[in-house]
Structure 1
Amino acid sequence: MFRLNYILCLVPIVLFGAIGGFFYAYSVSVIQGLNTLPEINAIQAMQKLNQGTRNGVFLFTFLFTPIITLGCAALLYVRGKQMAGLFLLAAAAVYFGGSFLPTVNINVPLNHALEALDAGTLSGAEAGPIWSEYSAGWYFWNTMRAVMALIALGLAASAMHGLQRGTVVSARAQLA
């Protein structure tokens, strides 16, 4: 029984870690590196990066993390591990509100606007303000997505910690 409960906590931890790490890497390295390029090159590179991100692994992790986490939370809750279930519910809510919704409502529309540009026809004077505005807004919201996904990771880890504490408490009660 404990092994299944453990897995029900571990799966969301791995998913939150993967997506939080993805967002984190973009904030601390990818955007930083792109900002060192001439703006036209940065626009072209980001267009290619955005195209590369649309793949099954990213989409599965991004879309199914909250769904899988809710399922794990519900299973833990009905299995009598209410605290762990509530921590996972909180993790799913934090991820959904802080990572999922900003992605859908802010970062993806910014990406689509950037992809609509024909960078080859832009002058350096035109590309500079476009990239500066895009990069600043995208970076801010991406960093928020990373922070919120990592907070969700911490909540999921708290769910697992609660499982372990419950096991220790049960063992002590049996020994007494």
Structure 2
Amino acid sequence: MPGIVAGLSVTSIVFSGAIFGFFYAWVCSTMWGLDQADPRVAIEAMQAMNASVRNAVFFPAFFLTPVVLGLTAAAMLFDGRKSPAFWFAAATLVYLTSGLFLTLTVNVPMNEALAAIPVPKDIETAREIWQDYSQRWQFWNQARTIASGIALAFAGFGLVRL
């Protein structure tokens, strides 16, 4: 069992770190860069990125992180390691509620609404659309970034307690 626990622990850290890094990159570069671009270009670029993100490379970090974290917590609990199990279970809960759920209920619907909008030829109309979208989207992205960072930290605490 120690080999399984160790393997799951490392996988949990890697997956949690991958999704935290993904959300973090949007915070500190992608959205700021788009905000500096012509709003028509920003809308078109965001539509393209949102359409491309549903892929086999993104899937494991986004959807399987809570599965791996939960399996790690369960394996640790089964192995009698209650303290590490608690931290991995807490990481699972934080990511599920404030990472995955938030994305599916807030960011994805915003992305789908933006995808339905034809890119305006008028720059002022595009600017209004982009500013409204970008400000709200970034707020919620920062929330899920913080949550996924907390989940990563909790998994780290669990690993240290192992």
- Aligned residue in 2 for 1:166: none
- Aligned residue in 2 for 1:24: 24
1:95/1:152 contact within 8 Å kept: yes
Q: Deviations over 1:92-124 (max 9, x none)?
A: 0011111111100100000001111111x4421
- Aligned residue in 2 for 1:51: 51
Q: Deviations over 1:148-170 (max 9, x none)?
A: 1011001001111001xxxxxxx
Q: Where in structure 1 are there 5+ consecutive unaligned residues?
A: 164-176
Amino acid at match of 2:71: G
- Aligned residue in 1 for 2:60: 60
Post-superposition offset of 1:56: 1.2
- Aligned residue in 2 for 1:137: 136
- Aligned residue in 2 for 1:92: 92
Q: Where in structure 2 are there 5+ consecutive unaligned residues?
A: none
Measure the CA separation in 2 of the matches of 1:64 and 1:4.
17
- Aligned residue in 2 for 1:157: 156
- Aligned residue in 2 for 1:36: 36
Amino acid at match of 2:76: L
Secondary structure in 1 matching 2:36: coil
Measure the CA separation in 1 of the matches of 2:13 and 2:83.
16
Measure the CA separation in 2 of the matches of 1:66 and 1:103.
14
Percent identity among equivalent residues? 36
In the superposition, the TM-score normalised over structure 2's length comes to 0.96
Secondary structure in 1 matching 2:57: helix
Q: Over aligned residue pairs, what C-alpha RMSD do you find?
A: 1.1
Q: Deviations over 1:117-154 (max 9, x none)?
A: 111x4421211111001000111111111111011001
Q: Deviations over 1:1-59 (max 9, x none)?
A: 54332222111111110000000001100000000011111000101111121111212
Amino acid at match of 1:47: Q
- After superposition, residues 6-21 of structure 1 pair within 5 angstroms as 6-21=6-21
Secondary structure in 2 matching 1:56: coil
Q: Which has the larger radius of gyration?
A: 1
Measure the CA separation in 2 of the matches of 1:10 and 1:77.
16
1:116 to 2:112 alignment: no
Amino acid at match of 1:138: W
- Aligned residue in 2 for 1:171: none
